[in-house]
Amino acid sequence: MELFRGRRLWAEKKTIRLPTGTEREKIIIHPGHAVAVLPVENSIVKLLRQYRYAVEQYIIEAPAGTLEPGEEPDACARRELIEETGYAAETIVPRGFIWTTPGFTDEKIYLFEARGLSPSSEYGKDEDEIIEVVDVHVLALDAMIRDGTICDAKTIALIHRCFR
């Protein structure tokens, strides 16, 4: 049974059958799939300082966004990179995917590394995005994760996939 449908996500209540045969009623959130991109150039990573209303603060994170209907993940990664950083990538390398919070949502985020950056104004920022591009040296990333400067899970996973 559909409980809510909005522009970006919908929620449903459904009866699920566990592998043990037990049935339970669960609420599942369907936000659509997304991408996150780590733009890297000459040992510098372009991250975002972005205001996130759900946590009412600015966070440091990788450029990311939701796939449009019918859009392929790599095309979405290229679009989001330009929209949020003002840079296009010569190469986009897939780095797998993550489930964000599989306890209550089916959201999958496809991870990409972007190289060969050049300025682009093909796409503009969304009206509700408050974003500042922050250049971070690759060698500073681990310390920023350890001290909590970077606490966004998709960004931590993406850094791990690109540099481990």
Q: Is the pLDDT of residue 129 over 80?
A: no
Single pTM value for the model = 0.92
Helix (H) or strand (E) holding 160: helix 153-163
Banded model confidence at residue 161, pLDDT cuts 50, 70, 90: very high
Q: Are 82 and 99 in contact (CB under 8 A)?
A: no
Helix, strand and coil in the chain, % to nearest 5: 20, 50, 30
Section 100-117 average pLDDT: 96
Q: Is the pLDDT of residue 126 over 70?
A: no
- Inter-residue contact 46 to 39 (CB < 8 Å): yes
- What residue spans define the domains of the chain? 1-30, 32-163
What pLDDT is attached to residue 120? 87
| Residue 121: how many other CB atoms lie within 10 Å | 8
- The mean per-residue pLDDT over the stretch 59-81 comes to 96
pLDDT digits (tens, 9 = 90+) for 16-68: 999 999 999 999 999 999 999 999 999 999 999 999 999 999 999 999 999 99
Identify the band that residue 125 occupies on the pLDDT scale cut at 50, 70 and 90. Answer: low
Catalytic residue list: 127
User: What integer best gives the mean pLDDT of the chain?
Assistant: 94
Quote the pLDDT of residue 128: 73
> CATH homologous superfamily for 32-163?
Nucleoside Triphosphate Pyrophosphohydrolase (3.90.79.10)
Measure Cα distances from 26 to 1, 13, 31, 159 in Å: 11, 6, 16, 33
pLDDT of residue 124: 64
Residue 122's pLDDT is 67
For residue 164, pLDDT beyond 90:
no
**Contact between 87 and 117 (Cβ < 8 Å):** yes
